[in-house]
Amino acid sequence: MTDSLIDGQHISKVYATATGPLVALDNVSFNIEEGEFISLVGPSGCGKSTLLSILGGLEEKSDGTLVLAGKHHDSPRPDLGMMLQTSVLFPWRTVRENVRLPGIILKLDKKEQAERCDELLDMVGLNGFGDRYPTELSGGMRQRVALARLLAHNPRVLLMDEPFGALDEFTRETMNVELLRIWEKTGKTVIFVTHNIGEAVFLSDRIFVMTPRPGRLEGIVEVDLPRPRTMEAMRDPRFSELVFTIRRMLGVDH
Amino acid sequence: MNMMQPAEEIVASPATQKETIERFVETERRRQKKKVLVNRLLAAGFGIFVLLVWGFATEGGFVHRLIIPSPIDTFWAMGRVMSADYFLPNIWVTLQEILWGFAIGLASGVVLGVGVAMFDAVRATIYPYLVALQAPPKIVLAPIFVTWFGFDQPSKIAIAVVMSFFPMFLNTLTGLSAVDQNAVKLMRSLTAGRWKTFRYLLLPNALPIMMAGVKLCWTLAVLGVIVGEFVGASAGIGYLIYAMNFQLDIAGVFALIIILSLFTLVVYQLIEWLESRIIFWKQL
């Protein structure tokens, strides 16, 4: 038994479908340390989103053990935070009210949450936008609000399911840099799902490379690029090498 | 570090001169105003045209005045009807019936809609029957209700309730079900239970569709009451229309129809105004 923050052993997930059982995850084992930035990379159907849902306690695993901070883990917990591909902001709440939502649901101290909300809006570069409604914001700005909301209840682990997948390339790159800056400042453990290899290499300490049918953990790639990273990191020859290695593991290098 | 400016404020380059922008805004505003004016004139023109055709056909003797009264006859009839002794007591009866029918239909639709949407056991128990009951035209119940509940107000209220219940029920159910699954996932990840998910996500999310149901509910409650009064009543606007029609006072019938339409329309506008307040985020 290790003393990692997250310890997953032999995790499997089987779905019953009309055409018979479908193995979404096949015997996946891993450890994640506190403060690590982990990416799950792979094509559609490799089980990366399923694994993230299991880590979030939103889906049951069919087999295996999952230990989070020393406790068996199978249901949502307030020390986890989730961010999805769409911002999922409630249009009837202002930006500030959206960021305050986790605090309201988890019944956190109101005054503290109000202060934290202002800090977070500042951190994601939305100072002065607190009283706007989500429909008044651009796609990139909405994901910034979602990022602030993710951090509102100060979760220990951030589970991010392709959070910038719906953004255009330029906005996505800016958001990556922002995310790294926030991660370095807060020291959270991040588990980040993406199908963009470059994004994964740029952001991560380690990359879990996953392959489909059935969903397997093909291997784990250590990213030894120096930190703190800026866009310059993409010009590092090591960056291209790592991208190339992962492409080969995924069998897309023809 | 790369601190991107969140500012999406549009700042034109010096090349785009201030006057250019102002001129553009001014032209655009004038064009809009003109369009609104033209649309209003078109609507008003069409109304006047219909009135003229109506007046010409009736006053000119092309249609018998007993069949279709002229606009002028109708206008005088409105004054006659509204100043008559029977007017206020009868309109009061109908008004009460409509408001009770509307309120009960609306409340029961919301309560059962929420019940079916939120509790699987409730859905399994009553949903199949509600769907089956929804199919036949509810008007067929009018004679039976008069037999059951008598010639007075309860039978009219019952018909209005049955008619206005279904749109409210179905719209509540549809509204509560039409939710982004990602939002549900987010609420679950925040450990929100059934009640908090309802309060913070499902209910506000359902309000636009529910308000559409309220409007339908209103018009159907009016319809239900009037039909009920046609079938069997001793007072009310529907009863008056029926009686005047029988006495060939068609001008009086026209007058009552216009009064009833105006009343229904005013309340409908009121509901629309409330709607724009409640679901303000749709106007943003």
B72-282: CATH topology is: MetI-like fold (1.10.3720)
Closest CA to A79 of A1, A160, A173, A156: A156
Q: What is the DSSP letter of B65?
A: T
- Rounded to whole angstroms, what are the CA distances from B125 to B56, B104, B131? 60, 22, 12
Share of chain B above pLDDT 90, in %: 77
Assigned token pair, B125: 């128990």
- Can you tell me the distance from the alpha carbon of A137 to that of A33, in angstroms, rounded to the nearest whole number? 36
Cα separation, A192 vs A200, whole angstroms: 8
Whether the complex's predicted ipTM is more than 0.85 is answered with: yes
Q: What is the average pLDDT across B53-69? A: 89
Cβ distance of B189 and A80 shorter than 8 Å: yes
Residues A105, B2: C-beta atoms closer than 8 Å: no
3-state helix, strand, coil in chain B (%, to 5): 80, 0, 20
Pairing of strands A189-194, A37-41: parallel
Segments in chain A below pLDDT 50: 1
CB spacing of A88 vs B201 below 8 angstroms? no
Question: Which amino acid belongs to residue A179?
Answer: L
Question: Model confidence over B202-245: pLDDT tens digits?
Answer: 999 999 999 999 999 999 999 999 999 999 888 999 999 999 99
Confidence tier at B150 by pLDDT (50, 70, 90)? confident
Is B195's pLDDT higher than 90? yes
Minimal C-alpha gap between A253 and chain B (Å): 33
Nearest to B6 among A125, A133, A153 (CB): A125
Q: Quickly count: other Cβ atoms within 10 Å of residue A13's Cβ.
A: 23
Question: In Å, what is the CA distance from A196 to each residue of A86, A192, A203, A249?
Answer: 17, 11, 11, 14
- A34/chain B closest Cα distance in angstroms: 20
- pLDDT for B8 equals 53
Query: Nearest-CA neighbor of B189 among A80, A28, A33?
Result: A80
The mean pLDDT value of chain B amounts to 90
Interface of B with A in 170-209 (CB under 8 A): 180, 182-183, 185-192, 196, 200-201, 204-205
Averaged pLDDT for residues B35-62: 93
Q: Hunting for tokens 């007046």 — which residue is that?
A: B55
Band (B63; pLDDT cuts 50, 70, 90): confident
- The DSSP 8-state label assigned to residue B135 in this structure reads S
Q: In this predicted model, what pLDDT tens digit does every residue of A41-54 receive, in sequence order?
A: 998 888 999 999 99
As a whole number, mean pLDDT of residues B147-157 equals 91
Any B CB within 8 A of A166 CB: no
Q: pLDDT at residue B3 above 70? A: no
Residue with tokens 């109000």: A114
Which residues of chain A neighbour B180 with C-beta distances below 8 Å? 86, 88
Tell me: pLDDT of B19 over 90. no
